[in-house]
Amino acid sequence: MARYGPVRHVVPHPLTLTRARDTFEPPIFCPRTTFSVGPLQPGSRMRHGLRTLALILCLAAAPAAALAQLTVQGTVTDESARGLSGAQLVIEGTGIGTVTNDSGAYRLLVPSPRSGMVLIVRRIGYKPVRQLLAQLSGIVTQDFRLVRDVLRLSEVVVTATRAESERSTLGATVATVDGDQIAQAGTAQIDAALAGKVSGALVQQASGTPGGGTSVRIRGLSTISRSAEPLYIVDGVIIDNSSTQLIDLGGYSSNRLADLDPNDIDHIEIVKGAAAAALYGSRANDGVVQIFTKRGQAGALRSTYRVAYESDDVERRVEVNRSPVNAAGAAVSRYDYQSNIFRTAPRVSTSLSFSGGDQRTSFFLSGALEDQDGIIRSTNYRRQNIRLNLDRSLTDRLKIATSTSYIHSKADLTPNGGLTSSFGALTDFLFTPNSYRLFADSISGDFPTAFIFANPLDIIANWRAPQEIDRFIGGLQVTALPIDRLTLSYRLGYDTYTENAQQYVPRNSSAPSLATGLAISATDRARLMNSDLDASYVMNPTPRLRLTHGLGMNYQEQKFDVVTSQARDLALFTGTLQGSQQSATEFFDKRRTLGFYGQEQVGIDERLFLTAALRSDASSAFGIDERKQYYPKLGAALNLSQYDFWERWRDLASTLRLRAGYGYSGGQPAGSFDRLSNYVFEPSGTRSGIVNSTQQGNQKLKPESARELELGTDIEIARGRVGAEITYFNKHVKDLILPRTITPSTGFLSELANVGELTNHGIELLVRAVTMQRPSYTLNTTVTYTTNHPKVTKLSDGGAFFIPESFNIVRVDTGLAPGHFFGTTYVRDSSGQILDAAGKSIRDATGKIVGIPKIGPRMVIGDPNPKGYWSLINDLGVGSHWRLHFQFDGVYGNDVFNFDRRLLESPAFGTGKAYEAELRGDVPKGYFQARRSIFQEYIEDGSFVKLRELSATYSLPAGFAGRFGAHGAQISLIGRNLHTWTHYSGWDPETNVGAQRTLVRGFAFATVPIPRSVALSVTTNF
């Protein structure tokens, strides 16, 4: 058991913002004497011949006069004496360090040893070890045996405090997901890969369309009117993750996180609530996710080549009507057009990366090609990524790091209805009786007109919806240590993209209302910029006390400009907006936010840690009267097991930590100009005039405000083999921005005001365990479990309301979960029997349905918010070559509004198997016609368990790989979403036609199911 002695002081790692493990360039705190202008500067010394030495060492901070030299060497192993590669060895307080090789061996040259030097050994997943260097010259052999750290309490995280902090010092939880967990998840999308990896984060993939969107809800919903997605940061660059629906193609709108390549990810930090995220001020209400990409390491050039071949198909299909007659009793042929809509689709994913460098400069260069066909015919997605991450030490105390990436993606999609459109492959599969013959005429090529909207096969063959993105994300970071213990860090982040979405319905299409064609082209030009300055200063006024002062500022600007052009009455055989009727609209949004913060972290005896911070935010989106907003936070962590009195319980629990966090954060108004009173276009005849908008501006508009308390404990039992992180959170959001009635006789109708309130509270549990450990195999198990109880507690004077574009079924009301379903019901007697209009049961004594149900009043009929969700992940390592991995994800207590089933069994269409009952006469005529008006019928339990991931990886023996000139190679067989256990009757209980919308959740309407996929991947390291 490694325990920290009282002499230890944790030095924030100043020259990088990635965690310590990501670099072996160590902290640099040169004694002040060496850092003066003139010939004593290290750089000049190097010119005099020490350059070769510096290839192994990081920069030397020793006095120039030092002559003695010490070499420390040995191996770093785990508890079963297996060598650990990639462990970092650092001489504390100097820049001297190295990493272990593949067999765990290391050799560290200390050019000017002094007494009192401490060697620290760190490796991810293991507790750090500190060793005082007793001998000051010659060669010392020092082996280390690291003890695993299942809770990763000694892991360094940076996002919550904007400075490096060990997890054990934080009062609020910060979750970390490793890059290989993302890369091995078998999906091209980072956020989809996060599903089940983190407690407290509900990850829902809205559509199985390639490049389709995924929503991430951290600790429930914190808003009604804004986007509920967390703030995403990539290497310090605030990036856009909006899901702008340029054209409604049916819950397809992808979120812009889809642009990142999972293979580039080093790790991801997830800061869940206000208690931890207060330093992000008015943008932190939905949590903060920081993605760190891989960076180069000094040493020989390394390259990794990965290629994956994947096959996707639809896991579940709906059963279709096979009745040989129609409602009129006439003989008909029936088709199952699902086979003409769905297909088995290939995906090829290739990535190549190079990394390397010397002790001054390192780089990571990667490129990736993603080529994926969708399971809906004629859909595909292609993405190309290039990334270059550069690190350069200009001097010992000045470092520049850049991250740049360019992304191009292009998707060809097929419309699938949506909340505002009735055209689509699956949509019109539902809206067309399957007794219609829909195939193209073999001679003319014309598709027959379908029932009411369009012929789904025509849509697949001839309608086009290409989407294209060009995106650049770049970050520059300068870190300086002007004096000892003071770290200054400046970051400039830039994210810009052009997204173009188009839709072409050709002239002579099978859709009666679009017979002359429709072309839409919408372009969103986005630009985000952030400019951050962080300063931290570490003090040790007494050996037992450590103070870290933090100060910082953060400036953000974001701009969006959407231009949508439309043409109707198209010329034949054209592919651009060539039509006689043309129109265009534009929407522009721009805002700036300026924030400052101060933070104080106090460590006492390395046992008790206190954090207090205050952030102030001013944004152009806030009303003039509410320009400045303040977000305080407090955190406390008590490592009880560090106290001596704990010895008697150490066998029971080797680690026990108690923590508490309390803080505030904000959510900015959705529209940058919502605070303004505007004058809008009002035509009179052919002239254009203006009048006041009936929505009055509100200069008191301020961000939504979340107050969160989280309490938790981290405990390690079974001699460190099992660790549990248990957290209770209670989040209260007030000042929710909602429309409020303005006295209409003033000439206005409404304003946006801070009127609503809602709460979320729940439990998060994370258990990591080394379930079995034998010499030949190890089984690691991770369990996450989250519950949440969301409730709206206050609304504006108007009371309950329906969410626009939700078919008037998704509703918000006080005392209920946000976005519950509200609709028509069955009328039942006291025993639960469904009644007809005469008040009689619709079933006879034998249980056969003989009556027609009565349509009852509208009531609350369902809730799409899950009561809880969990995951079970097992990793089995067999020998040194085999790794078996599986992950189950479960969501329970959520309802899905199965609009698909309503259409399938509606007599007007009747494509579903259920309708056979009426055609057979098992139910009275008119039964389904009546039932289709009872929305309660179509609320289904959407609980499910999915076998999310199942993979087997074989690492080729080093000698074998060496024959190809490779350091190593792995072959993996990866399955994703292989099976779903659910009572839900539709295609997929997970998808949502509302895509990433805040409140239209669990709404199934012709959404493309998430495919079942199997991939074979080969990774080679050179």
Partner 1 sequence: MPTHISVRGAARAIVAAALVMSAGCDLNIANPNAATELGVLGSAAGIRAIGIGLQGRLGNMLEEGIYVPALLSGELGNTNATQSTTREFQHFPQTTANSLIEETNVDVLDLWSKNYQIVKSANDIIGNIDRVTVPGTRAGLLALAKLSKAIAFGTLIEAYEKIPIAITGAKPPFVDRAAALTEALSLLASAKTDATGTPLSTDFTGSVLAPGFDLLNTIRAMQARYSLAAGSYADALAFANEVPPGVTSVIPFASGDRNPFTNLFFGSSFFGALSTFRSNAEAGDTRVAKFTTSATPVGFGGATLNGLNIYRAESDPIPLFTQDEMTLIRAEALARLDRLAEAIIQINIVRNANGLPSKTALQLATKPEVLDEIFRQRTYSLFISGLHLSDLRRFGLLALAKVAYLPYPFAERATNPNTPANPPQVP
Contacting residues toward partner 1, per CB under 8 A: 35, 37, 41, 43-44, 46-47, 360, 394-395, 397-398, 478, 480-483, 488, 490, 531-533, 553, 555, 586-588, 590-592, 594, 618-620, 627, 672-673, 676-680, 682-694, 697, 741-749, 797
CB of 1004 to partner 1, least distance (A): 26
CB of 736 to partner 1, least distance (A): 19
CB of 677 to partner 1, least distance (A): 4
Per the DSSP assignment, residues forming a β-bridge with 500 are 468, 523
Q: Which is nearer to partner 1, 116 or 747 (CB)?
A: 747
Q: Which is nearer to partner 1, 652 or 680 (CB)?
A: 680
User: Which residues, including other chains, have CB under 8 Å from residue 882's CB and lie 6 or more apart?
Assistant: 876, 952, 953, 954, 955
**How would you label 302-332 residue by residue, b for 16+ Cβ within 10 Å and e otherwise?**
ebbbbebebebebbbebebbebeebbeeeeb
CA neighbours closer than 13 Å in the CB half-sphere of residue 796 = 18
Q: Which is nearer to partner 1, 80 or 585 (CB)?
A: 585
Q: Which is nearer to partner 1, 41 or 311 (CB)?
A: 41
Q: How many angstroms separate the first and last alpha carbons of the chain?
A: 37
Position 166: which residue type?
E
CB of 616 to partner 1, least distance (A): 12
Strand order in the sheet with 97-99: 97-99, 88-91, 118-122, 129-132
Residue length of the chain: 1022
User: Pick from 387, 393, 391, 364: which is nearest to 302 by CA?
Assistant: 364
Q: Which is nearer to partner 1, 533 or 658 (CB)?
A: 533
> How far is it, in rounded angstroms, from Cα 645 to Cα 743?
67
Sort residue 457 into left (φ over 0), alpha (ψ -120 to 50) or beta: alpha
User: Pick from 524, 655, 563: which is nearest to 127 by CA?
Assistant: 655
> How far is it, in rounded angstroms, from Cα 464 to Cα 466?
6
User: Cα 282 to the chain's mean position, in Å?
Assistant: 19
Q: Which is nearer to partner 1, 103 or 933 (CB)?
A: 933
Q: Which is nearer to partner 1, 367 or 623 (CB)?
A: 623
**How would you label 749-758 residue by residue, b for 16+ Cβ within 10 Å and e otherwise?**
ebbbbbbbbb
Q: Which is nearer to partner 1, 752 or 769 (CB)?
A: 752
Q: With beta carbons less than 8 A apart as the criterion, state whether 73 and 107 touch.
A: yes
Q: Which is nearer to partner 1, 326 or 694 (CB)?
A: 694
> How far is it, in rounded angstroms, from Cα 952 to Cα 941?
33
Per the DSSP assignment, residues forming a β-bridge with 548 are 538, 601
Name the one residue in this structure whose structure tokens are 């080969």.
1018
Q: Which is nearer to partner 1, 409 or 619 (CB)?
A: 619
User: Pick from 270, 357, 11, 375: which is nearest to 165 by CA?
Assistant: 11
**How would you label 963-980 residue by residue, b for 16+ Cβ within 10 Å and e otherwise?**
eeebebbbebebbbbbeb
Sort residue 376 into left (φ over 0), alpha (ψ -120 to 50) or beta: beta
User: Which residues, including other chains, have CB under 8 Å from residue 960's CB and lie 6 or more apart?
Assistant: none
Name the one residue in this structure whose structure tokens are 């009002």.
682
CB of 694 to partner 1, least distance (A): 7
Q: Which is nearer to partner 1, 533 or 608 (CB)?
A: 533
Q: Which is nearer to partner 1, 369 or 742 (CB)?
A: 742
Collapsed DSSP state (helix, strand, coil) of residue 897: strand
Q: Which is nearer to partner 1, 395 or 824 (CB)?
A: 395
User: Which residues, including other chains, have CB under 8 Å from residue 497's CB and lie 6 or more apart?
Assistant: 240, 256, 259, 407, 469, 470, 471, 472, 524, 525, 526
Tokens representing residue 780 in the block: 């690691």
CB of 889 to partner 1, least distance (A): 42
Position 376: which residue type?
I
User: With 0-12 CB in 10 A as exposed, 13-18 as middle and 19+ as buried, what is 1009?
Assistant: buried
CB of 681 to partner 1, least distance (A): 8
